[in-house]
Each structure stands twice: as structure tokens, then as C-alpha cells.
Amino acid sequence: MAVPKVNICSFNCNGLGDRRKRNEIFTWLKDKSYHLFCLQETHSTVQQEEFWQSEWGGPILFNHGLSNSKGVLILFKKNISYTIHQTLSDNTGRWIIIDITIDSTRFCLANIYAPNTDDPDFFFNLEATIHSHITSDLYTIIVGDFNTVLNSEMDRAGHQASTSNYNPNSRSAINSLCANLDLIDIFRHNFPRATRYTWRRRRQASRIDYFLISFSLISLVEKVVIEDSLRSDHSLIGLTVTTSILPRGRGFWRLNQDLFS
């Protein structure tokens, strides 16, 4: 089915190893109107792939961590038409990058689960990987759990908010990634004064889950939202992009697997 809009969501699910929880979350996601579902902290293993795909009822791209930590995956609604040209993932279960065409529009989509420590090298390596394989006119979306806020004053609440220097090196690396790849935090762009959070625990809250998108996509964004949650301390976030009026890019990216062997 051709889609004039692309609906993408992201959700740190805090582990899907428990079958009952996994089925609840899969059912909850199926009821939503998204086409692609980027999940983090999945706790998947190679042995579970076939079983999980059967439960979901559609394609899944996995990058495994351990059975009790890390792991990212991308779920696809089975009734949409798309072409995946290349897939790349790291060897620690922290990111998947796909080169995908939906409705004749080609995107680079990266689903990430960043370390919860001040680790700028994670973002430097991500930037280097993307920069090496993307032409300047390819639409780029990086989404997931960044484990770092971009604005300590607006994106944190509770007693942790007083620690304004939270993961400063990671934040600097994200800002550098945005500058070098021409990306923007679309939620903050659309809601410059909003104080909304995607992670809550006890009396602490922060907006550490977000979409970084190409500047050239801003005018095509129909909505960006922070939604509800299910059995996680993170909220689901969503993005809708109109594709029916997007011009096709002049160039495409190609993954050189030899660089990562």
C-alpha cells in the first residue's frame, strides 16, 4: 500500500524478554497508526528472532544486545510498501541504520540507544558512519533514546535538574552531529517553550527521547508528539512526514561493509 505520509514512532520499552509484556506492547503498538516502530532496550537474542516476528505478524530488523540489556529493533506494519536498500548495525546492540524508500522517497533512518554515561565517542562514531554514506540531499532521521538532554533548563525536572552539567560531552557531541549533518530537534523547533518529558522516575523527569531530522524536512512535518507509555518509564514519541510532495534526492547513500569488518 502506498502511503502519502510516513508515520514513525520510537519507544524505549525497558525489555521485551517477558512474553506477556511483549505481547501487550505488540498489541498496543499495532493499534497505533504508525508504519515504522523504532524500539530500544529490547533485550533480544538471535534465538528469539523467528518467534518474535511470528508474534508481531510482520517484518522486524534486529540488532541484539544481551538478554538483559541493550538491543534495538525496527518493526514494520505489514500492509505498507517499502524497499530497504541497505542495513547497517553496530556490534553492541545500540543502533541500526537503514536506507529505505517509502512512497518513492528515500530516507536514512537511524534508531539509536545511546549509553547512559557521558560518552561522546558514541555520537562521534555515529556521525562518522552516517557522514561517510550519505549525500547532502538525502533526508535523514535519527531517533531513539539519546540518554542526554539538549537543554538542561527546559528538558529536565526534579532534583536532577540542578545538575546542569549532566553528560556535557555527549551533549556537545550531539550538537556537533546536528551542525555537521544539518539536523534539528524537531520537537523543540515546533514547541520552543514547551516543558514536556519522555522519561520519568520517582520525582525526576527528562526529555531524552527525540527526533533529529534534516532541516529540509521541517516544512513537511505534519506533527511531532509525545504520547503515552506502557510498562516502561519512557513515553512513546511520534513523527508524521508528508511524502507525497517531497522531491526525490539527487543522490543516494551506499554502505561499504568493508569499512566495518
- How far apart CA 231 and CA 10 sit, in angstroms, is 15
Q: pLDDT digit of tens for each residue in the chain (261 aa)?
A: 656 899 999 999 999 999 999 999 999 999 999 999 999 999 999 999 999 999 999 999 999 999 999 999 999 998 888 999 889 999 999 999 999 998 888 899 999 999 999 999 999 999 999 988 766 667 999 999 999 999 989 999 986 665 567 899 999 999 999 999 999 999 999 999 999 999 999 889 999 999 999 999 999 999 999 999 999 999 999 999 998 665 544 333 334 444 333
The pTM score is 0.92
The answer to whether 176 touches 144, Cβ cutoff 8 Å, is: no
